[in-house]
Amino acid sequence: MKPVLREVARPDPLGLQYFSYYDTPAQLLRSEGASSRYFRDVYDLFQDMEDKDAHLFAVLQTRKNGVLSRPRKIVAASDDARDQKIADFVKGALEAIDDFDGALLALLDAVGKGFSVVEVLWRVDGASVGIDALKPRPQGRFRFDADGRLRILPPYGSTIARRDEGSDATSQSSIQYPASSLHQSLYGLPVPPRKFLCFTFGVTPESPYGRGLLTKAYWYYWFKKNNLKFWVLFNEKFGAPTIIGKYRIGASEDERKRLYEVVESLQNDTGVTIPENTALEFLEAKRSGTINTYRDLADWCNDEMSKLVLGATLTSGEGRRSGSLALGQVHERVRSEYIEADARALMGVVNGQLMRWLVDFNFGTDVPAPHFVIDTTEDEGLEREVQIDQQLVKLGVPLPLSYFYERYKRPAPLSGERALRFKAQYRYSKEIS
């Protein structure tokens, strides 16, 4: 069995670092005046925003599904037989994962929240190392150090063994982390090497936690949520007239109580009976605004969320108004650009981390790793590509046959398999390859 790779211990840089220098998502929201009651864990707020706002969840899911719905493949580092064998091994390791799509979806959670973390559970099968599972982990358990490296927070009040600087062995001394949210934000342990996949979105040197779209969507979510509260009150107040019950002077307590019960029953019953000397009137409330005031605000918030996440509104909001084919094509092109950018970022994470680690464990650190590729080519644009390729062939530009099968997503015939070929005199004929 090959020896398991191990990372050399390095000094802990946290002793001289000041974490408040960085802009965390909570600090970004505080700077915009958001309520501080949310910031026990800002990622809980982000999850609430997705769970409670159907439109916000839908547009984020549309953007993620735009990446996950594209074809995926493993491409060998070269045409060398060894590289092909490595690519087959990696492909088999990924196919053995129960919910690989779910892990990719969890990584794309960084688009909304700034960063995402997925733990790799390794499995040793004889002389090879495979993947048992990929488990998403909550962002609130992690921090970044001065160099942008991931660190994990220990549980509150836990005692963690500490490794001395320059030593591979763990010392007998331990450090007691205070059970305080302030100290928890300052401490963190280096994560084990080749253990956690980390995807950051919109990261800058000043904000290693990324700038997720949910941070920018917070105020639209807040306006819409409170607008709904007042909209419900509006419907309750003006949707039905106010009932006024009049009783005679000197009426007894039982008579007044009975009248109140009659007024209450009118909310559910179509008719009631009352004594002859009792009167009921309906007071229509006068209003200067209309229900459209609340609907327009909710629609505006939804449109802003759509533009923020998808870059356009046609797929989510413009349908209630007039549109055009040209406008739809522009919006779809913008959305395709977002999908391609997200796919490239996701491929960078999988190729630079997971694929590289699999090859490191099984073949060595000096062996080139295969590539995880997400095909973002749109079928609608292939007609123009065919014309270009035809012209290139006519000009004598040599193009490999494998290029055409891969480019136009058509299966290559196997050896000895009957294939359909074009012949000018017979139009089409069946031949044996």
pTM above 0.75, yes or no: no
The DSSP string of 272-332 is ----TT-EEEEEPPP-SS-HHHHHHHHHHHHHHHHHHHHS-STTTTGGGS---HHHHHHHH
pLDDT band at 17 (very low <50, low <70, confident <90, very high): very low
* Residue type, position 193, single letter: P
* Residue type, position 148, single letter: G
* Sheet of strand 196-200, all strands in order from the earlier edge strand to the far edge: 128-137, 115-125, 196-200
Nearest one of 214, 239, 171 to 42, comparing CA atoms? 214
CB atoms under 10 Å from CB of 409, counted, come to: 11
Q: What is the mean pLDDT of the chain?
A: 75
Q: Which two tokens stand for residue 166?
A: 């320059």
Domain boundaries, the chain: 13-153+188-219+332-374, 242-283, 382-432
Q: What is the pLDDT of residues 367-425, one digit of tens each?
A: 999 999 998 877 556 777 888 888 888 888 888 887 777 777 777 787 777 777 766 55
Q: What is the pLDDT of residues 205-232, one digit of tens each?
A: 778 888 899 999 999 999 998 888 877 7
Cβ–Cβ < 8 Å for 156, 184 = yes
Cβ–Cβ < 8 Å for 100, 372 = no
